[in-house]
Amino acid sequence: MKRFLLAAAAALVLGACASAGTGGPGLQGQAVLKDKAGRQVGLGTFTEDSDGLRIEVTGVGLAPGPKGIHIHAAGKCEPPDFVSAGAHFNPAGKKHGRFSPEGAHAGDLPNLIVTPVGAAGLDVTTKAATLKEGVPASLFGAGGTSLVIHALPDDEKTDPTGNSGGRIACGVITRK
């Protein structure tokens, strides 16, 4: 039964991955999230329009519970620890955490919630980052950026990482 539920969740999530971010005009990007073994465990889709940058993340096969998820400042995802992705994307030099009184990193996102069967989803819009080129907040600036899932929840206040633990999945953000 558990195997069936996991397969059903994976089918639903992967179906959502295939359709995520396809509607409407605007700039688009994506990040294929892979774990340290190179298995695809998720997809991040980035769509920019007049409301800001919409980030949709789906995942499968992840350990249950909340996970920190951030945009990181380097477009590299070298396993097994993904430290090649660098620090959080922070072009404005802010402190970490969505609840920081000094402002958050542009790469700070709400926690990714993973269900008991390993499926995950996040849908958030931000004005702190952009897909437009030639501006400091661009995800496509020099060296690019990546999307990283962490092992633990982000406490959304502790600088510089939110105590979100090791990096368990990573995907370079590319134009779509």
The Cα-based distances of 59 to 9, 17, 70, 116 in angstroms read 10, 9, 14, 12
Q: Which of 35, 54, 108, 154 is catalytic?
A: 108
Quick check: is 155 catalytic?
A: no
Retrieve residue 137's tokens. Answer: 């907040």
150 catalytic, yes or no?
A: yes
- Choice among 81, 96, 154, 175 that is catalytic: 96
154 is catalytic: no
123 is catalytic: no
- ∠ CA(160), CA(166), CA(169), 5° rounding? 110
3 among known catalytic residues: no
Return the beta strands (E) in the chain as ranges. Answer: 28-35, 40-49, 52-59, 65-67, 69-72, 112-114, 120-126, 146-150, 167-172, 174-175
Residue from 3, 39, 49, 105 carrying the catalytic annotation: 105
Distance CA(62)–CA(49), nearest Å, equals 30
Indicate which residue of 39, 51, 54, 167 is catalytic: 167
Q: Is 49 a catalytic residue?
A: no
35, 54, 150, 154: which is the annotated catalytic residue? 150
**Residue 88 known to be catalytic:** yes
167 is catalytic: yes
Catalytic residue among 35, 54, 72, 154: 72
Annotated catalytic residues are: 70, 72, 88, 96, 105, 108, 150, 167
